Chain A
Amino acid sequence: MFRKTAGFRVFFWVSLVLIGAFVFLPLLWMINTALKPTTETFSLSFFTGPKTLDNIIGIITNPKIMTYLKNSLIVSFASSAMATLVSAFAGYSFSKFRYRGRKFVMGLFMMSQAFPQAILLLAIYVLMQKLGLLGSYWALVISYVVFTLPVGTWTLKSYFDQLPDSLIESAKIDGAGHMKILWRIVFPVTIPGMISIAIYGFVWSWNDLLYSMTLVTDSARKTLAPGLVMTFLGEGSTNWGMMMAASIVAAIPVTIIFVFLQRYFIQGLTAGAVKG
């Protein structure tokens, strides 16, 4: 697209080095700090001095933090599964059925990303309190479904749109019911879309701080993000080695998912967000 003129070469290399440093060095610094023994935390050595896994081991043997991690896994898996299913139903309905109010509901779903979360949280808090769900996993699982609903519905709708109506019609003629068509014909062909939405939902839930620190305050049910904030910020911790190790532990699950399912992930990110 661009000719490799002298000017472009300068631009290319200067940008590559400067933006590259900005993008990649901080994370390396995090890893570097986490791997230093406590006595070395404040040294400026960059992967050169003595290394230890003490910080990482300190985090993964901390029963409190492991409870937070377990809670995060439960909540993120549950809300991701629920969001994918709910979005798939909705996307299928929008794609293949025609009824009054369809466009209106589509518009509602699309707008849901634009409602400020913090203001919704006020009334969600009161609602969950009334329902007795405050402090339970359910409060988070249900709330997180909304993060994924617009993106999920639109992404999956575009998958269903590509499915020829004749396929569904012929299944009907063969006597298959709606549910059977859905599980046997419709869902299987959209598995890539479903995976990308499931990942999207998982990452959103995993990374959320605002809802989780508000709706669940009991430390037995607390998830990882608010748990770490409470553990380190609450005590005004200056144990940076531990904090960096904790950050790495919190980042690992989503990073693993990303590494293995990158293709689906980028698809979900761009396709979903463009439409939703």
Chain B
Amino acid sequence: MNSNLRKKGLTDAQVGVLLILPGLAVFCAIILYPFVNAILMSFTDRSLLMPNYKVVGLENYIKVFSDPYFGKTLITTILFVIGSTLLPFTLGFIWAIILNQGFKGSELLRGITLVNWIIPGTAIGFLWSWIFNGQYGILNAILTRTGLLETGVAWLGQTNTALICVIIARSWQMLPWYMAFLLGGLGGVPLDQVEAARVDGANNLQVFRYVVLPSMKTIILLILVLGTIGNLQHFDLPWTMTQGGPARATTTLSIDVYTTAFDNWNIGKAATIGTIWAVLLGLFSFVYLKQVKDSD
């Protein structure tokens, strides 16, 4: 077949295009077409329960923007994204600095740390639901035994604590991811510059501030943007831990799109929320693309 290809006189360019076709086909079927179709659906009253639908123009958008819950969902999403990006980034950075010291067993610790990231979100959701359990959870046991709390708290059942709990679980899941990149970044810090700064009398903090941070700027920016995109998309933990509750306290945009479409069957409205969300994501992706382009 191979030599046949050549005999038929396929040019190199044609072979190149042939090779790209499977990927392009999947991309069109699973990303491009669904994306365009979802935007179109946002202008209809389509429901998953009924085969017929009609175009309703901007009605869904007016409904979504006048829905008081939507503003709350946006705020919840932003809080979730900020918390779930900055907390694991900070902890992951410190952890990377610790492990980068190269003490006995640091390689092993790095490996075990990554297990948290690789296991299914469902398992992580179960685990943290158990830790935060209001009746028998270990967190309450520790806090009441040490006298920090008098009685246990239903951490996931209260609107003012549920989101924080989900952010903590998400941070636990993502810390290894940030650590892996930052360890790579720390490995690339030019040691001669560190030495030069030492000669100039710089202390640890100054070395960190004026040598380490600048030389890791690209990787830091990159993982913050990638982390933000990932968190804007995140679904598993709020779903397994609280299903978006209590009283929508953990309903982020991805949870909202899912429940609107597959619990309330209102796929038109879900597509509207999704489209607005895509615009948000688009802004971040723009930064991301620019970043990758500049670093090339």
A interface residues, Cβ below 8 angstroms from B: 1-3, 5, 7-8, 12, 15-16, 19-20, 22-24, 26-27, 29-30, 33, 41-42, 44, 85-87, 89-90, 92-94, 96-100, 102, 105, 107-127, 142-143, 145-146, 149, 153, 175-180, 203, 206-207, 209-210, 214, 224-225, 228-229, 232-233, 240, 243-244, 246-248, 250-251, 254-255, 258-259, 262, 265-266, 269-270, 273-275
Contacts and interface: CB of A to CB of B under 8 A. Distances in A.
User: For the complex, would chain B's binding face be called helix, strand, loop or mixed by DSSP majority?
Assistant: helix
Given A1-B189, A177-B5, 7 more contacts: A16-B98, A99-B14, A111-B285, A111-B289, A120-B35, A209-B236, A254-B118
Contact of B115 (A27, A120, A178): A27
B136 A240 contact: yes
Interface on chain A toward B: helix, strand, loop, or mixed SS?
Answer: helix
Given A99-B17, A149-B26, A255-B119, A122 B138 contact: no
Contacts of B239: 209-210, 229
A89 B23 contact: yes
B16 to A, nearest CB: 3
Interface of B: 1-6, 10, 12-17, 19-20, 22-24, 26-27, 29-35, 37-38, 41, 48, 91, 94-95, 97-98, 100-101, 109, 111-116, 118-124, 126-128, 130-131, 133, 136, 138, 141, 172, 175-177, 180-181, 184, 186, 189, 191, 194, 198, 203-204, 207-208, 212, 219, 222, 226, 229, 232-233, 235-236, 239-240, 243, 253-254, 257-258, 261-262, 267, 270-271, 274-275, 277-278, 281-282, 284-285, 288-289, 292
B208 A123 contact: no
3 nearest interchain CB pairs?
A97-B16, A177-B2, A119-B274
Contacts of A258: 114-115, 118
Contact of B126 (A96, A110, A247): A247
Given A1-B194, A7-B204, A19 B98 contact: yes
